[in-house]
Structure 1
């Protein structure tokens, strides 16, 4: 459960029991800090955008994070985002390449008695977001705003560039191809809709049938060629078939599509 760190306003999760958590792709990049029981920061690392789900074992630590909207992470950290895709790196390794991150990293560890230093960290690296090319920002917004099939060729045309140029720029800053990001956005939007419908049905009826989902109808609504196409894409993005996802406790974890307004 996400909450707020006292007097900091930073989102963090306090994990009381060791457990395995399935993290689903959402197109974002993060800087994560883990804390010792006394409140001092243990490790700080940058996490790249994910193309597929990751299973992470966590436990007995508080975790604070800074999230970059799709397209902002590469510039903010001073790296080609592709180098972090589906991986992570110690912030010290990024800091050697980026002066602002290096300076704030030192501050972070000199003043790590609480998480307020992360505010300064977020402020400094957040300033670098202005270096994100308008092309990437606008493309991310256009892709995220479409809940059905997205034609990358048309988006590139609307932005006045070739599909190849858009793909190169987008990957360098977001760590994903526009096509993969569009797939992630579509799957997350669809699963969020399923969660809302199932929750409403369960509130209104005690019959299990009321919560059944027509994946073939959803395939048509979200621009898939057919139900098999939907199942294939969902399985690639979240590592489970739609039926498996719905049957697991993980389907109760709120899925909120990342929304980026075109700038």
Structure 2
């Protein structure tokens, strides 16, 4: 499967992680998508409407029966709500057609522009970026959603700690209650602070496993913010339905 990421337009860089393109092979296949603390919007040339994929609390298996081209944008944590104008907990662990979020007229106009003519991949992605810039300007002209600044502070603290910062400590640092922080996360992120931190640790662990030929599991667990190896195994089973050892084998097996 072909997959490539591009840096976003500079004016979108504070909000967008990347724009990306993928092409699935022309035969039946499936691939596993892991939780990454991001929200994506995808457009595909298979005739279906564009759709947003909300924050994920576990891995999903994506199956395809035919060749499909995908163009997409991946938002930074806590930033998608500016562009989707909906509380993000409403689409957690599910997808929502973009015509329901943006209106059918705008959604159809964008879809038509994306797939017409012989434009290059990067030119098609630039069409998405222009629409995002238009929506960003409109969002900025309106009022910034309440709680957005607080959530961004919390996200920076959680990511900076690798997910090791306890939610009680985080709430105390921000001078808010744990309940208020959780409510704002539901609106702006789509996950609870605890689940967001859990996925931060999980992402650190998957990155370490991919780059370590022979992991020392107890030490890797501690390095990634887990209490012990059992804690690491428990999270992998919950988030991927597999073990760290099997995940390691699948990423290091010799073809």
Q: TM-score, normalised by structure 1?
A: 0.77
Task: Name 2:217's counterpart in structure 1.
Answer: 215
Task: Name 1:224's counterpart in structure 2.
Answer: 226
Task: Name 1:2's counterpart in structure 2.
Answer: 3
- Single out whichever of 135-144 and 84-93 deviates more from structure 2: 135-144
Q: Tell me the distance in 1 between the aligned counterparts of 2:134 and 2:107.
A: 10
Which residue, 243, 248, 251 being the options, matches 2:250?
Answer: 248
Runs of 4+ in structure 1 off by over 3 angstroms are: 125-130
Task: Name 1:55's counterpart in structure 2.
Answer: 61
Q: Give the 3-state SS of the residue equivalent to 2:49 in structure 1.
A: strand
Alpha-carbon deviations, 1:134-173, whole Å to 9, x = none?
A: 1111111211122252211111111221111111101111
Q: Tell me the distance in 2 between the aligned counterparts of 1:81 and 1:51.
A: 13
| Residues 31 and 44 (structure 1), Cα distance of their counterparts in 2 relative to 1, 3 Å cut | same
Structure 1: segments with no counterpart, 5+ residues? 97-101, 199-210, 253-263
Question: How many pairs does the alignment contain?
Answer: 227
Q: Tell me the distance in 2 between the aligned counterparts of 1:245 and 1:139.
A: 30
Task: Name 1:21's counterpart in structure 2.
Answer: 31
Q: TM-score, normalised by structure 2?
A: 0.80
Equivalent pair of 2:49/2:99 in contact (CA under 8 Å)? no
Equivalent pair of 1:104/1:124 in contact (CA under 8 Å)? no
Higher relative contact order (CA 8 A, sep 6+): 1
Task: Name 1:204's counterpart in structure 2.
Answer: none
Q: Tell me the distance in 2 between the aligned counterparts of 1:15 and 1:126.
A: 30
| Residues 24 and 184 (structure 1), Cα distance of their counterparts in 2 relative to 1, 3 Å cut | same
Structure 2: segments with no counterpart, 5+ residues? 10-17
- Say yes or no: does 1:192 pair with 2:220: no
Q: Tell me the distance in 2 between the aligned counterparts of 1:122 and 1:80.
A: 18
Task: Name 1:123's counterpart in structure 2.
Answer: 133
Task: Quote the RMSD (CA, aligned, Å).
Answer: 2.5
Q: Tell me the distance in 2 between the aligned counterparts of 1:197 and 1:248.
A: 13
Question: What does 1:135-214 correspond to in 2, within 5 Å?
Answer: 135-147=150-162, 149-198=164-213, 211=214, 213-214=215-216
Equivalent pair of 1:66/1:122 in contact (CA under 8 Å)? no
Alpha-carbon deviations, 1:105-138, whole Å to 9, x = none?
A: 2431443415243222222334437835111111
Q: Tell me the distance in 2 between the aligned counterparts of 1:158 and 1:81.
A: 24
